[in-house]
Amino acid sequence: MALADTTIRSTKPGAKPRKLFDGGGLFLLVAPTGGKLWRLKYRFDGKEKLLALGAYPEVSLKDARERRDDARKQLAKGADPGATRKAEKASKVGRAADSFEVIAREWFAKFKPAWAESHSSKVIQRLQNDVFPWLGARPIAEVTAPELLTVLRRIEERGALDTALRAKQNCGQVFRYAVATGRAERDPSGDLRGALAPVKHENFPALTDPVQVAELLRAIEAFRGTFIVKCALQVAPMLFVRPGELRTAEWAAFDLDKAEWRYLVTKTKTEHLVPLPVRGGAILRDLHALTGQRRYVFPGRDPHKPMSGAAINAALRRMGYDTKTEITGHGFRAMARTILHEELHVKPEVIEHQLAHKVPDALGTAYNRTRFLAERRVMMQQWADYLDRLRGVPRSFRSP
């Protein structure tokens, strides 16, 4: 006799499991704990088997009968419903394991150690905020170019054109990693060439007029902020390293007696050597009395952490400079590159090596931390002397 909902609802659990049959092999198993579970008994290849169809009331009587009928259709076609169920589950697990987010995070973990912390944090935040919510659960092999474009258009619509372009580049890297590891056939981002709005990249603002540079140097000397920030401002134009490398500089990397600073360039993971001019060494020796017992040369409010990444630009604004149109901490590099070449006539390859840029030479080799070292030592002192002349200071720190 077929079951009815009233019968199912009124059946109470007993001391032992109880079966309520509905016909066609379908029955409801009422457990002593109160659970009511749908089961289908069937035979395949001469063996009796049992298939779970869900729990009541989440799976209603009507739903259970439909699932029974679907299973019986499979049997009529010579397929085992239980084996089909297992195959579907395995397929879902496999698809989840090969989802865009899973593979993207695997790619990120593999390459993150070779990146600067600032770069890696931007990459993962970009993926988490702008890509994963829409593509993360999709099997990576099934993501199409139009799907990816929809995600990128969403970024463009809020005016973040550069972010959209970088997100496309990161997605392309993930797709190519999936292809290389056998989990995708192709990279659909390649089909989107020219589909995004072009981005006009602007250089960091910098002062390259000697008269304006002189005014800036005098403003730095008159700065009334903290001693640590003032020291950082004084050596920043003199050493022209990347702002992140300056603020995270560690005393262990300095040899003040040899007038050298050696560290690992965060952008390229290459070793770099900065010859220290006389005045630069004097400023650092003076600062060593205050922070020399700490890890960082320029610590922040927390003595165990480096100075804030915004400190230099904040100090420049405090001195009256517009960091969007006039000068930034990064702009000291362009200042040095331009004036060293145009005013002091230093060879470009010497400047580029001191900037830690990878510039292949005639032999095809790239950046070498010791290449042009003698010339770079002379250049760094020449540059410091030039800055002193602009500021109008005595010759006490200049080379003979």
Does residue 92 register a pLDDT over 80? no
Does residue 364 register a pLDDT over 50? no
Q: Which residues 6+ apart lie within 8 Å of 371 measured at CB? A: 353
Q: Which uninterrupted H or E stretch holds 39?
A: strand 36-44
Q: Is 233 exposed, middle or buried (0-12, 13-18, 19+ CB in 10 A)?
A: buried
Does residue 395 register a pLDDT over 80? no
Q: Is 182 left (phi over 0), alpha (psi -120 to 50) or beta?
A: left
Other Cβ atoms within 10 Å of 63 Cβ, number:
15
**Structural contact between residues 169 and 127, judged by C-beta atoms closer than 8 angstroms:** no
Segment 182-186 shows an average pLDDT of: 92
Other Cβ atoms within 10 Å of 205 Cβ, number:
16
Domain with CATH 1.10.443.10 in the chain: 210-397
Domain with CATH 3.30.160.390 in the chain: 5-97
pTM of the model: 0.54
Q: Which residues 6+ apart lie within 8 Å of 355 measured at CB? A: 240, 333, 336, 337
Residue 57, preceding bond cis, omega within 30 degrees?
yes
Q: What are phi and psi of 47, to 5 degrees?
A: -115, 140
Q: The tokens of 183 are what?
A: 């989990």
**Structural contact between residues 17 and 23, judged by C-beta atoms closer than 8 angstroms:** no
Q: Is 194 left (phi over 0), alpha (psi -120 to 50) or beta?
A: left
- pLDDT score recorded for residue 203: 62
**Structural contact between residues 77 and 60, judged by C-beta atoms closer than 8 angstroms:** no
Residues counted in the chain: 400
Query: Among 36-45, 89-98, 257-266, 378-387, whose mean pLDDT is lowest?
Result: 89-98
* Residue with more model confidence, 116 or 171: 171
Say how far apart CA 15 and CA 29 lie, in whole Å. 13
Q: The tokens of 229 are what?
A: 């920030």
Q: In whole numbers, what is the pLDDT of the chain averaged over residues?
A: 88
Q: Which residues 6+ apart lie within 8 Å of 235 measured at CB? A: 246, 280, 283, 284
Instruction: Determine the straight-line distance between the first and last CA of the chain, rounded to whole angstroms.
Output: 111
Q: Which residues pair with 41 in a beta bridge?
A: 50
Domain with CATH 1.10.150.130 in the chain: 100-192
CATH no. for 210-397: 1.10.443.10
- pLDDT score recorded for residue 298: 97
Q: What is the CA radius of gyration of the chain?
A: 34
Does residue 363 register a pLDDT over 50? no
Other Cβ atoms within 10 Å of 103 Cβ, number:
21
Residue 306, preceding bond cis, omega within 30 degrees?
no
Does residue 399 register a pLDDT over 70? no
220-263: pLDDT as tens digits: 999 999 999 999 999 999 999 999 999 999 999 999 999 999 99
What distances in angstroms separate CA 222 from CA 181, 237, 299, 329, 387, one per listed residue?
Answer: 58, 15, 21, 18, 15
* Residue with more model confidence, 265 or 302: 302
- pLDDT score recorded for residue 93: 63
Q: The tokens of 340 are what?
A: 């060293």
Does residue 269 register a pLDDT over 70? yes
296-329: pLDDT as tens digits: 999 999 999 999 999 999 999 999 898 888 899 9
CATH no. for 5-97: 3.30.160.390
Instruction: Give SS3 for 18.
Output: strand
Tell me the catalytic residues: 242, 267, 330, 333, 357, 367
Tokens 């169920």 locate to: 85
Assign domain 100-192 to its CATH superfamily.
Tyrosine recombinase, N-terminal domain (1.10.150.130)
Q: Which of 316, 321, 326 is nearest to 205 (CA)?
A: 326
Q: What are phi and psi of 179, to 5 degrees?
A: -65, -45
